Amino acid sequence: MAYGDSKAAGFTDTLMASLNALPLYPTVNNAGHDDLSIPNITVAGLVARVASDLATRPAMDGMSYQNVLITIGANDVISLPAQATWKADTATLLDALHAKWPNAKVYVAQAWRRGYAASCNSLATWLGNVLSTRGGWAFVGPDERVYLENGDDGATYTDDGVHPNNAGYILAAAQWKAILGY
């Protein structure tokens, strides 16, 4: 399951097709629950709605998600909240996901947005602090500050300095696939 801001919507189909091309058993299947992306959402916004979002995501065919892929932060950097607030909200979000699917690994991408490099770097540090207190179930995901920014301020892999273009979403799927160990 992919969950988060608008970036969560673009890579899942490519990622699923790529994983299903591998000799995995069983076939990777999200049964139509492959992503829940909310445009312009912040971490605080996700926390406000996470209970209702999770209520719409029952276990699939009696099984739980194995991985939850989170994209957050690109909207937070526009008006960076206080560090303690962001970290508490992120912890609340991760803990809610873990309570719903205790056997799932939760991965959180490090956000990037053109013009907000310093704030994105702050969020990456804060995220590392939160993840370090979540044991063996929460991990850092792909680093958008590297692969989306790409040394060219996002010109190659974004159309707007925030959202991946088609090539960017293909690259995002490859980044997630590598994080998942495939």
**2-179 falls under which CATH superfamily?**
SGNH hydrolase (3.40.50.1110)
pLDDT at 49: 94
pTM for the structure as a whole: 0.91
How high is the mean pLDDT of the chain? 89
pLDDT at 11: 83
pLDDT at 27: 46
- Whole-number Å distance between alpha carbons of 108 and 143: 9
Cβ 46 vs Cβ 4: under 8 Å: yes
CB neighbours of 23 closer than 8 A, spacing ≥ 6?
A: none
**3 state SS of 57:** coil
Q: Where are the domains of the chain?
A: 2-179
pLDDT tens per residue across span 12-62: 888 878 877 877 644 444 544 456 889 999 999 999 999 998 888 765 555
- DSSP state letters, 120-138: HHHHHHHHHHHHTTSGGGE
Closest Cα partner for 175 from 144, 131, 130, 135? 144
**3 state SS of 90:** helix
CB neighbours of 171 closer than 8 A, spacing ≥ 6?
A: 147, 148, 157, 164
pLDDT at 33: 45
Cβ 54 vs Cβ 100: under 8 Å: yes
By the 10 Å C-beta count (0-12 exposed, 13-18 middle, 19+ buried), 151 is classed as exposed
pLDDT digits (tens), the chain, 182 positions: 889 999 988 888 888 788 778 776 444 445 444 568 899 999 999 999 999 988 887 655 555 678 899 999 999 999 999 999 999 999 999 999 999 889 899 999 999 999 999 999 999 999 999 999 998 999 999 999 999 999 999 999 999 999 999 999 999 999 999 999 98
- Whole-number Å distance between alpha carbons of 176 and 19: 10
